[in-house]
Amino acid sequence: MSEPESVPLRIATRKSPLAMWQAEHVKARLEALNPGLVVELVGLSTRGDKILDTPLAKIGGKALFVKELEEAMLDGRADIAVHSMKDVPMHFPDGLGLAVIMDRGAPTDAFVSNRYQSLEDLPREACVGTSSLRRGLQLKELRPDLVIKSLRGNVQTRLSKLDDGQFDAIVLATSGLIRVGLSERITSELVPEQLLPACGQGALGIECRLDDTRSRTLIEALADAPTTAQVLAERAMNTHLEGGCQVPIGGYAVLEDEGKTLWLRGLVGAPDGSQVLRATARGPADAPEALGVQVADMLLGQGAGAILDAVYGER
Ligand SMILES: NCc1[nH]cc(CCC(=O)O)c1CC(=O)O
């Protein structure tokens, strides 16, 4: 052992309840696997947490949530950071990288309402809260009459806006609600056939300095091979589509055939749901990125480029 185990491993984390759950989860798993190891949390506030009243795309997107964490790793105040894979940018600053993808929780989105049991139950022109282009466009495709209104903030903030009566229903990630102990708020689960999840949704990843062999060795024990194959396929599709920070893109891969085959479904749509493109393909589980590129090319062949250009042109 090159370093004594008494040197703590430090996890940089945002302070939102979901981020804290994720960091605590990794801490508990690492300490269980490594008796004597001390894991500490380093709580940080990111710009994304401070600016709550502006659509994310206007203030610089999801990178705002990770920049402070990455600076802490680069200047040695922390060793690793735990991310929801759906929020992890495609590119990393020099010296940092995503070393591990962990096992996946629920990949789906959840329908949450205090008055209605399901999407089908909503009255005409009901108001549904979400700031996700991906959720909004699929909701509009299923129910063109619905009024989609912007909803930001952490999971608890979004629920309190529903409880205030600002919306008839809201849509949140199932895994986020379960992780912060609010699974009883899930009214019904939206299956991928209704609402295709975001690339990487429900999976956690760990970022660290690439030259930090001690941290890499410790976290590699948490890697999950099936989830890694799924998420690499989903993210390769997103990257090949040049998905920006806020994307009208869904992607979800599952393993079939005893884990030998990956089945990837992809979707790109106009934010108002007026045009929705879908593509699907199967490929060997040991070549996830090729499958992602293949499904992206199928979508581009149907005209996804024009839809995405129109969205990014609005910024
Ligand atoms: N965009 C915020 C975010 N990032 C990750 C999750 C939880 C789900 C996950 O781990 O993928 C959520 C909450 C939500 O979208 O409702």
* Pair (45, 126) in one structural domain: no
pTM of the predicted model as reported, rounded to 2 decimal places:
0.92
Report the nearest-CA residue for atom 1 of ligand 1: 87
Across the chain, mean pLDDT equals 93
Residue 197 lies in a domain: no
Q: Is residue 140 part of a domain?
A: yes
Structure tokens at 181: 């102990």
The pLDDT of 79-101, averaged and rounded, is: 93
Residue 217 sits in the same domain as residue 277? no
Number of domains in the chain: 3
The pLDDT tens digits for 230-239 are 999 999 999 9
Q: Is 172 in the pocket of ligand 1 (CB under 6 A)?
A: yes
Summarised one tens digit per residue, pLDDT across range 12-49 is: 999 999 999 999 999 999 999 999 999 999 999 877 66
One domain for residues 166 and 240: no
pLDDT at 315 over 50: no
211/281 same-domain check: no
Identify whether 276 is part of a domain: yes
> Do 76 and 141 belong together in one domain?
no
Band (89; pLDDT cuts 50, 70, 90): confident
| Pairing relationship of beta strands 147-149 and 127-129 according to DSSP bridges | parallel
Q: Is 227 in the pocket of ligand 1 (CB under 6 A)?
A: no
Task: State how far the alpha carbon of 115 is from the alpha carbons of 111, 169, 170, in Å.
Answer: 11, 8, 11
Strand ranges (E), 78-179: 80-84, 96-104, 109-112, 127-129, 147-149, 169-173
pLDDT tens digits, 53-64? 555 555 555 667
Give the confidence band of 255 by pLDDT, cuts at 50, 70, 90.
very high
CATH number at 134 reads 3.40.190.10
* 175 shares a domain with 41: no
Cβ neighbours around 147 below 10 Å, total = 12
Q: Which ligand 1 atom lies nearest to the CA of residue 105?
A: 10
Q: Are residues 16 and 74 in the same domain?
A: yes
* pLDDT tens digits, one per residue of 103-141: 999 999 999 999 999 999 999 999 999 999 999 999 999
Asked whether residue 196 is domain-assigned, the answer is no
The closest alpha carbon to 84, from 9, 155, 184, 151, belongs to: 155
Of the candidates 110, 108, 111, 114, the one whose C-alpha atom is nearest the C-alpha of residue 160 is: 114
Distance 1 CA to ligand 1 centre (A): 37
Q: Is residue 198 part of a domain?
A: no
Domain assignment of residue 1, yes or no: no
**Has residue 277 been placed in a domain?**
yes
Domain of residue 96 covers: 9-103+203-223
Q: Is 264 in the pocket of ligand 1 (CB under 6 A)?
A: no
Instruction: Evaluate if residue 264 carries a pLDDT over 50.
Output: yes
Residue 81 lies in a domain: yes
In this structure, are 238 and 180 located in the same domain?
Answer: no
Which is the closest atom of ligand 1 to the Cα of 84? 10
CA 301 to chain centre: 26
CB 202 less than 6 A from any atom of ligand 1: yes
